[in-house]
């Protein structure tokens, strides 16, 4: 079975719906058949179904099942415990669109977004536009469940159609609809590590023990042992030797002082000086670990 293409090209009458001066964006046919985009869609469908499984809600198509606001309403209630003053079941098109507008306004407020930041609208979601629906769900998922494994770095070709005084103007651009997850994970790990020094002092000793165990596994091969990260990393010697072991570097002992007696002899001028610089030392160890 050929994949269904949700674009202006698959729906030729949609061009006639564009008002003078209006712009509409669509995924290109090639992007709609992209394997990574299909993976993203399935990830979001699985996430919604897992979140709402106790309510016996099953989503099969993002754009077809979410356009009227019903499932989005249930999703917000489940994820954010939000109570909205809307009908549970909206039967007419007018009521469905009103419900969708209320739900999307709640999303905007909850995510603290400005209107200029929105990549969707009531009209585009109600028109079952896949691109807008994806942007909306990704924003909701990243806000309420930032650890959700959303496929990263998905680029799509977007067709923009504008009705001008001289006719239809078409433009093709590329958009990245999901962030580079690796960078985001690294930022998250760094933030979590920094929290140890501000919110979780009681766990800091446990982290130090784990990292020192890691260090001693490697510098132990040199017949060395680190017992106190606050002082033994002060001159940079142990850190340099550790990096050499981890990277497989040959360190010429004539190029640095194993027992520096002055600041000038300290390797790389690593002036950590006990506790004020412990954060930086542990960050370096954590990165290698």
Quick check: do 14-178 and 184-283 share a fold? yes
Supply 140's token pair.
């909701």
Domain 14-178: which topology? Actin-binding Protein, T-fimbrin; domain 1 (1.10.418)
pLDDT confidence band for 243 (50 / 70 / 90): confident
Residue 126: pLDDT band (50, 70, 90) is very high
The whole-chain average pLDDT of the chain stands at 76
Mean pLDDT calculated for residue range 245-254:
68
What's the pLDDT score for residue 138? 93
Of 192-196, 201-205, 278-282, which one has max mean pLDDT? 201-205
HSE toward the beta carbon, residue 192, CA cutoff 13 A? 10
Burial zone of 132 (CB within 10 Å; 0-12 exposed, 13-18 middle, 19+ buried) = buried
Section 186-206 average pLDDT: 60
CA-based nearest residue to 287, from 219, 250, 239: 239
Give the confidence band of 271 by pLDDT, cuts at 50, 70, 90: very low
Q: Give percent of the chain above pLDDT 70.
A: 72
Q: Is the pLDDT of residue 107 over 70?
A: yes
Question: What is the pLDDT averaged over residues 258-268?
Answer: 65
pLDDT greater than 50 at residue 196: yes
- The structural domains of the chain, with segments of one domain joined by +, span 14-178, 184-283
The correct CATH number of 184-283 out of 1.10.418.10, 3.50.50.60, 3.40.50.11710, 1.10.3720.10 is 1.10.418.10
Distance CA 140, CA 52 (A): 15
Tens digits of residue pLDDT in 203-237: 667 777 777 888 888 878 888 888 887 777 777 77
């Amino acid at each position: 079975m050929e994949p269904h293409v949700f674009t202006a090209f698959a729906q030729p009458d949609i061009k006639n719906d564009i008002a003078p001066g209006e712009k509409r964006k669509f995924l290109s046919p090639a992007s709609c058949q992209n394997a990574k985009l299909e993976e993203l869609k399935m990830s979001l469908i699985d996430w919604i179904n897992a979140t709402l499984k106790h309510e016996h809600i099953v989503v099969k198509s993002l754009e077809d099942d979410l356009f009227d606001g019903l499932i989005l309403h249930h999703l917000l209630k489940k994820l954010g415990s939000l109570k909205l003053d809307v009908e549970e079941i909206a039967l007419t098109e007018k009521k469905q669109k009103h419900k969708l507008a209320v739900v999307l306004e709640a999303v905007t407020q909850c995510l603290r977004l400005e209107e200029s930041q929105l990549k969707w609208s009531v009209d585009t979601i109600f028109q079952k536009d896949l691109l807008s629906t994806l942007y909306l769900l990704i924003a909701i998922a990243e806000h309420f469940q930032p650890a959700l494994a959303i496929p990263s770095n998905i680029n799509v070709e977007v067709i923009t159609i504008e009705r001008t005084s001289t006719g239809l103007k078409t433009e093709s651009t590329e958009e990245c609809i999901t962030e580079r997850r690796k960078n985001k994970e690294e930022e998250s790990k760094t933030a979590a590590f920094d929290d140890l020094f501000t919110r979780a002092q009681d766990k800091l000793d446990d982290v130090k023990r784990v990292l020192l165990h890691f260090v001693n596994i490697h510098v132990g091969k040199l017949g060395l042992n680190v017992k106190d990260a606050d002082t033994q990393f002060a001159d940079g010697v142990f850190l340099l030797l550790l990096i050499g072991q981890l990277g497989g570097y040959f360190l010429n002992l004539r190029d640095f002082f194993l027992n520096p007696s002055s600041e000038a002899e300290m390797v790389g001028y690593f002036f950590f000086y006990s506790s004020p610089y412990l954060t930086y030392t542990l960050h370096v160890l954590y990165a290698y670990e």
